[in-house]
Structure 1
Amino acid sequence: VYLYIPTHSPNQYPGAEAMVLTAIRGELVVIPVEWSWLTLSRVLFSRQEVMKWNGWGYSDSRFLFNKKGQAEFTGRRYRLSGMVLPSLKDWFESTFGASLQHKSPATATLNASAVPFPSLNEAFLQDLKSTGIPFSHEAEDRVFRAHGHCLHEIFALREGKFGRVPDLVVWPNCHEDVVKTVDLACRHNVCLIPYGGGTSVSSALECPPDETRCIVSLDTSQMSRILWIDEKNLTAHVEAGIVGQDLERLLNESGYCTGHEPDSMEFSSLGGWVATRASGMKKNVYGNIEDLVVHIKMVCPRGVVEKSCQGPRVSIGPDIHHFIMGSEGTLGVVTEVTIKIRPMPEYQKYGSVVFPNFEQGVACLREVAKQRCAPASIRLMDNAQFQFGHALKPQVSSIFTSFLDGLKKFYITKFKGFDPHHLCVATLLFEGDRERVLQHEKQVYDIAAKFGGLAAGEDNGQRGYMLTFVIAYLRDLGMDYYVIGESFETSVPWDRVLDLCRNVKERIVRECRERGVQFPPLATCRVTQTYDAGACVYFYFAFNYRGLADPVNIYGRVEHAAREEILANGGSLSHHHGGTFHSPVCVFMCVWGLVGVF
């Protein structure tokens, strides 16, 4: 348990410092009941104490090149932590034309004096104080909640540049606190921006630069409790500020899970999943967020919106949940959600399949979807992404392991005739009761064999799945050496998947060349979700920006062109990242007038 004492008002909590010293000695500390909001279970108010303020993830976890020029991943939180990655340096330099001699380091510490001074609404502040809801206007707290993880946001932070930031951060502890805060915001004409896990990649957390009103970041991190579990109906009622890893941990302690695992699940919040219509890696078994939600409670400027019935389905007009999901914080603050839960799976097994080429891999995934036998997760990487993943393999621990790896490579490339420059790999994850998983596994591998696929082992499947949680750290490494990168995704009908993947990657290469990028870009994709009528395709692209005067602007233009190409090839603007900030037409304008906006 952490005890947070606001540095700007220590006198409000007399004796607090003595209590902390007592606790450090290992003695029992009794905290006054009126201080109950100061006790935090998992997340500190000052998140920057454990997380990067200008990059992705935990402060102690990062990729770096050590003094020997070898890549390694620091910290102790991940399977890759503490390991040396002998192939990453060569891949990095050859792919991007980068050099370890050309560095572009980030600003190490946040310069509070460079942060715009807060424009506070004194009447709002006085009324807020009377509620007892904690708040802060310290520079670090404000900057940390002024951004998501779009490239332009992180690039600016690394250079120590701050645009408009929130003037105040507020930490409600429950639904009632949110109601009070929203009421005060309406009364005093204050702008609210809901903040969950801070992992947004749709610019949803950016403050409008021309906003003259006081902007308040409403941080829901303290609303992180499971309020109840209904074992008869297999549902759980949860506060929306809880982050994914904590939600799963707490449910697992009771023998349950949601099965919802977006790439950002360590840091993204339940409310954020609802607000962006999120999708998880295991949606084939557990569903997307819209399949998991039973009930939503949302605080709007004119009241609380929620259904009166928690039945599994109703037919009395448009479903209110479908205008809340995907609204990205524009309509209100999601405070509580009832979600479906499942007993924890009895058996879990990873797998992988290598295909001669991307075309046959896509054909296999199409057949798996057609037969409705997709495992919990099935993801197909193109060759460039396969090469990328191979570069992240840790140093082998024995000569025997190295020999086996060489033997497998010989079998696939020489004996079976797979071209290393064209082959691709699918990673698999099966979950359920043991007998059904084994039957399911055989069915999928039989289909794969019809399309030239070869089983490539459990280790490759598990490693590929777990790499998902460290991939985002690589962007920070690239930016240390003049390489910028981003991801975007789309959903597309099956008959357009191959054309879309090829055309978007070619468009990226062409646009980079035409806009003066001096080094070949990386443009790679994976088919990451499957449906009856289509698939989700996830793109990564990056380039070396050395020699460019305005790399972020060029990057934005290339990404915009890539999205145009997606639309021209029958894809959507977004499958799960959130899209109202990418769309030229806001589909929610018809309902804003009914509930009000901040």
Structure 2
Amino acid sequence: MDQQVPREISRVFPKHRQDVLRWDGWGYKDSKFVYKNGAISFVGDRYPISGSRLDNFRDWITDMFNLDPALMNSAATPPTEFPKPLRNENFLTGLKEAGVEFSEDGMDRMMRCHGQTLTDIESLRKHKYKRLPDVVIWPNCHEQVVKTVEVAAFYNIALIPVGGNTSVSLASTTPLIYDRTIGCLDMTQMNRMLWLSEKNLTACFETGIAGQDIERELGKHGFMLGHEPDSYEFSTLGGWIATRASGMKKNRYGNIEDIVVRIKMVTGKGVLEKQCTAPRVSVGPDFNHVIFGSEGTLGVATEAVVKIRRIPDVIHYESLVFGSLETGVRFLREVAEKRLQPASIRLMDNTQFKCGVLLDPKGSFFTGFYEFVKRFYLTTICGFEIDRIAVATLLFEGDAKSVAYHEEQIIRIAKKYGGVGGGEKNGKKGYMLTFVVAYIRDFAWDLNIVGESFETSVAWDKCLLLCTNVRACIEREVAKREIRYFVVSTRVTQSYDDGACVYFYLLFKHLDVPEDSLKLFMEIEEIAREEILACGGTLSHHHGVGKLRSKWYPACVSEVGVGLYGAIKNELDPKNIFAAGNLVRPEDLKARL
């Protein structure tokens, strides 16, 4: 290794994260959409949209959902009373003797009992969480994790590793275990870069470090990681490994399994780790891939060696407008076939495109004229129907010459499919909008709109069929339930030689729904998931299985696959210390242990 680095504390997660982050939703306490004096705006100063007055967005909400933004739900109040923890005095004494910090404070426990599904958010806001961890544990190094696991195994404590609690699969939601003390192993204070090798282009991090802190630390030395999931501000390296994550710039930097070289994981029987760091080895099955996607059920990763890149000379955004989602997908397919994907390329359907436009601040006198000209150009000169167009946002990274040549080749392909340039500004806006989408979800809930996304991956020859059929399925199920005001949209994101990741979004007004709106949403999503699988889609591209999708897991990996997972679980964690309950349902797992 070339360089030891100072051990700095993470900027994102203090131990008492409620001091910085929202207790009842996504993101920072000081950043959110608000409705005041007839206007919607985004407060705070962390995002480009901050401080903007969003009148177009307000009018769209009013028209699309037939509601008055002034009729918002009253703000949820933090709880003041919490269920008493199930204490194990011997375990707590063991933590004290090992010098491991912990807390039984109710708010500390509640902040780590959930992920970011609608189910989680409703449980928090209505103070109806079914189970809180009994104690929050903050190890500060690998050795402390080893000691914590040893003590937990001795006293039959269930350990649930967490990072940023950004899961949307119920993976970090506290399991319903009532006969054992549950310790939440909060890894976020293990957030340091341990070393960096300029010669090998590798670095070693503790796994509790958040994505934005990784980039901040590497940036001091002229390097970057390039892994940017939508949650990258708050999700952690350990969480990415546990869920087999993917980021928006995977075309250039790879998915997490392409980035991570070596993992150190503490299991119920000791430490699992390869004994060398090399570009590739042929020594039987790669145990890294036992760890990727294990979702906290086999152990907890404590350190990881990752590949790094030098910060590129040029970072250039662009956008392209197509006549329809269909022509846009064909464009993506040819770009992938010729392996010309830029760092990021994503295709939004017409609904998402319009939502992006609506989040433009109300501008000057000339804004209306400019919009008229754009509409005239697209509909008259290009022959596009304004209600069918789809928009691709692109991000190029590299040296100036290669970026220019790369963009030229992609523009040439776009023209074959009738695509026209949408400009750098729109490309950047579309990319950055990703980081405020979850804030929109929470604001929508305040406005009596229930909404969420779910994703899959699918082969190219089934991509358009899946988009069409799943959208039709959702619309059909919404109509059956007599939901009048709703929005369904689609986005095609990460692309590969043989297929792509597809997102679906559903929002509907729940003031008019006589039944439990969250229950209705989950019913519709479940039926949509069945349609996704029937159309050749996967159970998940990068969100993982968690508890939310575990009922489909056996069909996806086969009964032999479930048996193999059970054998690995039995070998690494025979006492089921890591009892998160993800992937395989607890009742099914119990029969295999």
| TM-score higher than 0.5 | yes
SS state at 1:87 partner: helix
Extract structure 1 runs of 4+ deviating beyond 4 A.
37-42
Alignment of 1:144-159 (within 5 A): 144-159=111-126
Distance 1:575 1:140, change over 3 A: same
What is the match of residue 573 of structure 1?
A: 539
Q: Which amino acid aligns with 2:541?
A: H
2:347–2:390: 8 Å Cα contact kept in structure 1?
A: yes
State the match for 2:558 in structure 1: none
Equivalent pair of 2:492/2:500 in contact (CA under 8 Å):
yes
Match of 1:224 in 2: 191
Aligned to 2:52: 83
**Is 1:420 aligned to residue 386 of structure 2?**
yes
- The answer to whether residue 308 in structure 2 is matched with residue 341 in structure 1 is yes
Identical pairs, percent: 50
1:265-322 CA distance string (max 9 Å, x none): 0000000000001001011110000100100000001100011121211222211011
Give the aligned partner of residue 47 of structure 1. Answer: 17
Cα distance in 2 between the residues matched to 1:591 and 1:576: 22
Tell me, yes or no, if structure 1 residue 192 matches structure 2 residue 159. yes
Alignment of 1:163-562 (within 5 A): 163-396=130-363, 398-514=364-480, 516-546=481-511, 547-562=513-528
Is the 8 Å Cα contact of residues 10 and 213 (structure 2) preserved in structure 1?
no
Taking the aligned partners of 1:103 and 1:458, their CA distance within structure 2 comes to 36
Aligned mates of 1:387, 1:504 — CA distance in 2 = 21
Distance (whole Å) between structure 2 residues aligned to residue 40 and residue 325 of structure 1: 24
In structure 2, what is the Cα distance between the partners aligned to 1:202 and 1:293? Answer: 23
Shift of 1:231: 0.9
Using the TM superposition, name which of 291-300 and 503-512 deviates more.
503-512
Residue by residue over 1:51-86, the C-alpha shift from the partner in whole angstroms, topping out at 9 and shown as x without a partner, is 100010000111122212x21101000000011112
Aligned residues: 558
Letter in 2 for 1:524: S
Cα deviation digits, residues 392-429 of structure 1 (max 9, x gap) = 11122x33455333322221122222111100100010
User: Matched residues in 2 for 1:167 and 1:518: separation?
Assistant: 40
Q: Distance in 2 between matches of 1:421 and 1:42?
A: 41
Using the TM superposition, name which of 398-407 and 353-362 deviates more.
Answer: 398-407
CA contact (8 A) 1:97 1:519 kept: no
Q: Give ranges in structure 1 of 5+ residues lacking alignment.
A: 1-36
Cα offsets for 1:28-64 (capped at 9, x unmatched): xxxxxxxxx9976553111011110001000011112
The answer as to 2:65 corresponding to 1:100 is no
Deviation at 1:384, TM superposition (A): 1.0
Q: Which residue of 1 aligns with 2:569?
A: 592
Tell me which amino acid in the other structure corresponds to 1:48.
Q
Distance in 2, Cα, partners of 1:77 & 1:94:
29
Matches of 1:39 and 1:232 in 2, distance apart? 26
Letter in 2 for 1:486: E
C-alpha change, 1:328 and 1:284, in structure 2 (3 Å) is: same
SS in 2 for 1:470: helix
Determine which of 116, 122, 125 is the counterpart of 2:83.
116
Look up the match of 1:8: none
Amino acid at match of 1:92: I
**In structure 1, how many angstroms separate the alpha carbons of the residues matched to 2:233 and 2:280?**
31
Q: CA deviation at 1:262?
A: 0.6
Q: Deviations over 1:518-565 (max 9, x none)?
A: 323211111011100000001111111123331111111111001000
Deviation at 1:235, TM superposition (A): 0.3
Deviations 1:436-462 (A, max 9, x none): 000000000110010000001000000
The one-character-per-residue Cα deviations of 1:85-131 (angstroms, maximum 9, x if unpaired) are 121112112223333254333422x2231x21111111101111112
Change (3 A) 1:558 1:40: closer
Deviation track 1:137-179 (CA, whole Å, cap 9, x = no partner) reads 0110000000000111101212222221001001000111111
From the superposition, tell whether residues 267 and 192 of structure 1 become closer, same or farther in structure 2 (CA, over 3 Å).
Answer: same
Give the whole-Å Cα distance in 2 for the aligned partners of 1:227 and 1:320.
Answer: 23
1:573–1:583 contact (8 Å) kept in structure 2: no
Whole-angstrom distance in 1 between the partners of 2:9 and 2:569 = 37
Q: Please, what TM-score do these two structures have when normalized by structure 2? A: 0.92
**2:208–2:236: 8 Å Cα contact kept in structure 1?**
yes
Comparing 383-392 and 238-247, the one that deviates more: 383-392
The whole-number CA distance in structure 1 between the counterparts of 2:145 and 2:264 is: 11
Over the aligned positions, Cα root-mean-square deviation in angstroms equals: 1.6
- Corresponding residue of 2:529: 563
2:409 and 2:153 map into 1 onto residues whose CA distance is 57
CA distance in 2, matches of 1:550, 1:408: 42
Deviation at 1:249, TM superposition (A): 0.7
Q: Which stretch shifts more, 41-50 or 485-494?
A: 41-50
SS in 2 for 1:334: strand
Q: Is the 8 A contact 1:517 1:548 kept in 2?
A: no
2:456–2:539 Cα contact (<8 Å) kept: yes
8 Å CA contact retained: 2:9, 2:191: no
Letter in 1 for 2:572: V
Contact 1:517 1:545 in 2 (8 A): no
